[in-house]
Amino acid sequence: MTHPGFDDVLAAAARIAPHAHVTPVLTSRAMDALAGCTLHFKAEQLQRIGAFKFRGACNAVWALDEADAARGVVTHSSGNHGAALALAAKSRGITCHVVVPEGAVPGKLAAIAGYGAVLHRCAPTIDAREALCAELQATLGARLVHPYTDPLVIAGQGTAALELLAAQPLDAIVVPVGGGGLASGTALAIAGASPSTTLYLAEPAGAAETAASLARGERVTQFTPDTICDGLRGTLGAINFELLRGHGAQALVVDDAATLDAMRWVWTRMKQLIEPSSAVALAAVLGNRDLFEGRRVGVILSGGNVDIAALVNA
């Protein structure tokens, strides 16, 4: 399987049902008034490991045949995907190796280790991460579960939007985009469950290669990320670009200051702890009021794994 489809999202939903939470859809009159539209928040910060990433990792791990599973899994991750794969592997009783870049959020690294994964550190570049992953894969025989280009991961991430659309008809869905796993999975879910719903991709200005890629019609891969959204610093995957371009997804670029403002709105008005990589989706709505005014808008809050030390000083 190279390009997953809607049927793969449905299969993923059935596969992960015994393991993943069906997260709630939250509403807030105060946030509706602020945004000028009706907001429906898919609370993936309440998913296992505190992020949507568990969906894709769980689908990939439980789709393995017994022989592949026995050799374990390997990935690279700045945090949430690593924790998700570690927990998914633990649920199946197999070994998990995670390549982590220097400078990753300490709390996220602690979570990965806490779920039982073996950590391998590398330089903070995509090339370094992928090179060490390939080395471990060759040495250990472990199955690579890429954070966002693995078709099983993409299908699993699409189950969040599938649940959201089942709960509420929507005119638009806004999701954060980094590597594109959640975004392309959401595109698949929309295509099969609600084709009239428009998909918007919220992206930090300091890592806006998805917006540039969609505008040019080809992937932009040479850039140096500079954003507080640590989970969105990855390069948009080739398969993800193809799925998003084919779906007609639209990118909205957001600066970090607006993202931090949106994060604080959710903390104070909704009493929900979300991270910057999650808040960027709400920031995109608040920063484009004319685009969303009067519409029913789904916002996928992707995670809530905030560095506690940084939170105390926020």
Of 28, 42, 77, 78, which is the active-site residue?
A: 78
Phi-psi region of 125 (alpha: psi -120 to 50; beta: other; left: phi over 0): beta
Pairing of strands 143-144, 73-76: parallel
Phi-psi category of 141—alpha, beta or left, where left has phi over 0 and alpha has psi -120 to 50? left
Helix H or strand E segment including 290: helix 289-292
Q: Which residues have C-beta within 8 Å of that of residue 158, sequence separation ≥ 6? A: 4, 8, 9, 12, 184, 185, 186, 187, 188, 189
Secondary-structure percent of the chain, ordered helix, strand, coil, rounded to 5? 55, 15, 30
By DSSP bridging, strand 25-26 and strand 38-43 are antiparallel
**How many residues comprise the chain?**
314
**Neighbour-count burial of 59, counting CB atoms closer than 10 A to its CB (0-12 exposed, 13-18 middle, 19+ buried):** buried
- Annotation marks residue 78 as catalytic: yes
The residue annotated as part of the active site, out of 28, 42, 53, 213, is 53
What are the residues whose beta carbons fall under 8 Å from the beta carbon of 201, sequence distance 6 or more? 174, 175, 176, 177, 183, 210, 211, 244, 249, 250, 251, 252
Q: Which residues contact 138 (CB under 8 A, 6 or more apart)?
A: none
Residues with a catalytic annotation lie at: 53, 78
